[in-house]
Each structure stands twice: as structure tokens, then as C-alpha cells.
Amino acid sequence: MRPSLRDTQSFIAGSLIGTLGGLIGLGGAEFRLPVLVGFFKLPTLEAVILNKAMSLVVVSSALIFRAGHIPFTTQLAHVDVSLNLLAGSLVGAWWAAGHAMTMPRTLLNRIIMWLLAGLSVLMLSEAWFDWHNPTDALLDDDLSRWMLGLIAGFGIGMVAALLGVAGGELLIPTIVLLYGLDIKLAGSLSLSVSLPTMIVGFARYTRSDAFAILRQEQALLAWMIAGSILGAAIGGFLLGQIPTNLLLTLLGAILLVSAIKTFQHNH
């Protein structure tokens, strides 16, 4: 059976977003959410749940693909960092997903708009300020660093649950700055934190009537996932062809505009 126009659009959208995500080392879920709501006209909570399902597949694939560059043994050597952030993120994801199911849709739209706008500002700051090569951890005291990691993890878990994203845009700078680790290692550790955090948020959303969207939009889900995986591979292949700072500036601006246009007037 030939794919429909909507199937083709889903695949193309997933491919483009996956390519952009691959170029900057993210899953691209931040960009998928405005597309699901603005272009495919899905209700906000349903779009978040669908986005989270896609993110689970994309992050699982990325974790496997990155193992060749950053072995699991290297990641295990820093398991204390992952556990520190996970201790907060799992609680944050469970709490935020529970509240997202009960809050008014207009309030959810407003919160999502501000969160996406905040992520776009973070992208722009990454483009303009160099935080990729820290020399030391932010805090020397282990207890203080653990407490700050717990708080950061809780906030990141909330964002991941509310947007249906992996949270790499927040996790990577947190790991680099707070623990003083290399950005490539931070990218892999962020995935190991993201996966269980997303599973917890996803499990929480199963209690919502909106969870039926996964059955109703099976074709959209499948075609967009296929496109996202293909795009991530293309993005990885093109890595280094476009200056990272230029790309982050462009994507940060696009995300800011799309977040405001999509969620400011969506009811």
C-alpha cells in the first residue's frame, strides 16, 4: 500500500528534524513538538505523549550508536553522575507528568511556550558563549555538588515530561559545567539519564485518556520515527560541515519563533 500524503509529510518532517538534531547532538524532540501541534494539528497533551514515544525510540537508538565512540565501560566509570541526576529527574518527571494530565490545556500551552522559549535562549547562549571546555567542576564540595545535581535533575525531569523530550539540551551543559566532564562523554551520560527519566514520565501518562493517541496515530508515529532515525544518521554524517555556532544560532531563533507562534494562540 502506497503511503498517504500525511505519511509522506510525517517522514519528511521526521527526517529534517532528525538531521538537525544529529548535527547538534540532540534528538530533535524540541522541534518535533511545535510541528506536531502546529502542522499536524494534534492537541497539546496528545502531542506531548506522541513526542515522548518517539523520543524513547530515538534516544535508545542513539545510546546504541554512540557506544562505539564512548564505550559503556567509560560511562560506568562516571555512574555516580548519572545516579545523582537520575535521583532528581525521576521524581521531577513523575510529578510533572501527573500535573500535566490535570491542568487546563490553555495553561499547559502557556507553560510549554515558555519552556521552549527558554530552550531556544539556551541554544543561543551556547552559540555565543563557550562552555564546552571546562577545566574543573563547578563545586569542589561533594555534598554541595550532589545537592545541586539533585535539584537540577528534578527540574530537567519536569521539562522532559512536560515537553516529551529527552532533555539533552539541559543535561549536557549541566554535566559539563557541574561535574567538569568532556562534552562527548556528557552527551552519552545524558542519554543514560534521559532514557529512564522518559520511561517514568511515559508510564505516568498511561493513566491519561490522551494516551489513546498512540493507537489513533500509529502511522504518524511510525513514519516520523523512521524519518527521525534516518535524519539522525544523515546529521551524524554531515557533522562538522556546518559551523556549530551558526547552526545553534539559526535553530535557536527558529525554535523561539515556532514556540511563540504555535502555543501562544493554540487552545
145-173 pLDDT, tens digit each: 899 999 999 999 999 999 888 787 788 88
- Give the per-residue pLDDT at 156: 93
- Number of C-alpha atoms within 13 angstroms, CB side, residue 69? 13
Q: Is 33 within 8 Å of 52 (Cβ atoms)? A: no
- Give the per-residue pLDDT at 123: 81
pLDDT < 50 positions in the chain: none
DSSP 225-264: HHHHHHHHHHHHHTTTSS-HHHHHHHHHHHHHHHHHHHHS
DSSP 77: T
First CA to last CA distance, the chain: 35
- Give the per-residue pLDDT at 74: 73
Angle between helices 218-237 and 44-66 (to 10 degrees): 40
Instruction: Give dist(CA 84, CA 129) in Å, integer.
Output: 26
Element (H, E) at 146: helix 142-163
